[in-house]
Amino acid sequence: MNPFKFGTIVEGDFFTDRVEETAVLLQKLDSENHIVLISPRRFGKSSLVQKVLSQVDRPQIRIDLQYVMSVDDLAAQLLKAIFKIYPMEKVRHAMTHFRIAPTLSMNAVTGAMEVSFQPTAKASVLLEDAMAVLEKVTTAENRFIVVLDEFQEVVKIQKGLDRQLRSLMQRQHNLNYILLGSQESMMEAIFEKKGSPFYHFGQMIRMGKIPYDDFHKYITDRIDAEDVADEILQFTACHPYYTQQLASQVWEMMRWQDTHCGIVEKAVVALVEMHDLDYERLWQNMNRTDRYTLKQLALSQMPMQNRSQASSTSYSSLLRLMKAGYVVRVPQYEIEDPFFRRWILKNVQ
Ligand SMILES: Nc1ncnc2c1ncn2[C@@H]1O[C@H](COP(=O)(O)OP(=O)(O)OP(=O)(O)O)[C@@H](O)[C@H]1O
Ligand SMILES: [Mg+2]
């Protein structure tokens, strides 16, 4: 079986490093503090949190705000998650305060409890009542951990939701929130801007790439060739997802080819070709300034490693590309996807 895995949460043998981050998270969970975990996309936030949560024996709730449609949907998802942990009979006493009783039904296929509300119910009231249930079921002996993934979406679901959530969270005790986010600029605005409801809400942890030496060992334990591991990491610059993707492709190709020579380059070419259509579509949808910025970055000719060096047009292009996730700052600006970078170098003259 291919010993590399990419795209989903990784656990067990597919998971490497993150020793320090794991220790910090475990320590924070052992306090009354909340955690804010930030990194660019696909650096391994969800995998890290999954690993940490598997080491603590406490009730856990995970909600991905990307898939929350509205405030009442958030209330419903919260209740649904609580019912998954405790059967209805056990939490009924915690629901006597409900001003608008939810309708509960059993999903015959999944066996899970579905929660819905009257369409006329006021969403903010529903959320307040649902959060109050959480407050009642979490106790000093059985402290809940609530993970809200893609937290930056909070400001998109509904205006004012951030403020309401913050004031509800403030009332709760005996639980930890872990808030994850991948759009760094938005997460920073939420947690670091004075006046924002979540200003200094919890301990902010920024997750970087996986260190070179650890990743190198991870690869050579699975592909017995130091030079191949070096080439892979050189191409991906230790990006967790792209490293696993490229290593997986190399491993696959090694089954049919007995020489290591040039195999990483062949794997890169194959992966760039596989994504050719996607990259072309991406490129077509970009404006000329953004194309120019990307080209400069691909050529590593970006003069603007700080704001003062950049013209306002190119700086706003950079910000736009960062917001859309095509460019990351780690700490220098670079194209997020090394295969896209290669595609640009190949196609754009
Ligand atoms: N600790 C790790 N060891 C090895 N590979 C990892 C590790 N963490 C992440 N990866 C690689 O990165 C991929 C993405 O990980 P994960 O989904 O946890 O990241 P994420 O930051 O939550 O991503 P997203 O921004 O999409 O939510 C994994 O599928 C895996 O290939
Ligand atoms: Mg994730």
Domain ranges of the chain: 31-206, 212-274, 277-347
As a whole-number percent, the residues of the chain with pLDDT over 90 amount to 77
* Out of 41-55, 90-104, 150-164, 215-229, least confident range: 90-104
The pLDDT mean for the chain works out to 92
Task: Determine if ligand 1 sits within 6 Å of the CB of residue 340.
Answer: no
For the chain, give percent helix, strand, coil, nearest 5: 55, 10, 35
Contact 142, 56 (CB under 8 A): no
Q: What confidence score (pLDDT) does residue 306 get? A: 55
d(CA 128, CA 289): 45
d(CA 336, CA 328): 6
> pLDDT tier at 268 (50, 70, 90 boundaries)?
very high
Task: Determine if ligand 1 sits within 6 Å of the CB of residue 243.
Answer: no
Q: What confidence score (pLDDT) does residue 309 get? A: 54
Per CATH, which fold does 277-347 belong to?
Arc Repressor Mutant, subunit A (1.10.10)
- Mean pLDDT within 113-137: 91
d(CA 73, CA 102): 12
Residues with CB under 5 A from ligand 2 (ion): 46
Q: pLDDT tens digits for 281-329? A: 999 999 999 999 999 999 987 656 555 556 778 889 999 999 899 999 8
Which residue in 18, 12, 13, 115 sits closest to 63, CA to CA? Answer: 115
Q: What confidence score (pLDDT) does residue 332 get? A: 85
Q: Which CATH number fits domain 31-206: 1.10.150.120, 3.40.47.10, 3.30.450.40, 3.40.50.300?
A: 3.40.50.300
Is 90 exceeded by the pLDDT of residue 183? no
Joined together, the tokens standing for residue 206 give: 């920024």
Q: Which ligand is nearest to the CA of 50?
A: 1
Query: Which residues, at least 6 apart from 220, have a Cβ–Cβ distance to it below 8 Å?
Result: 226, 229
> pLDDT tier at 349 (50, 70, 90 boundaries)?
confident
- Mean pLDDT within 4-27: 96
Ligand 1 pocket: which of 18, 21, 42, 66 to mutate (most atoms <8 Å of CB)? 42
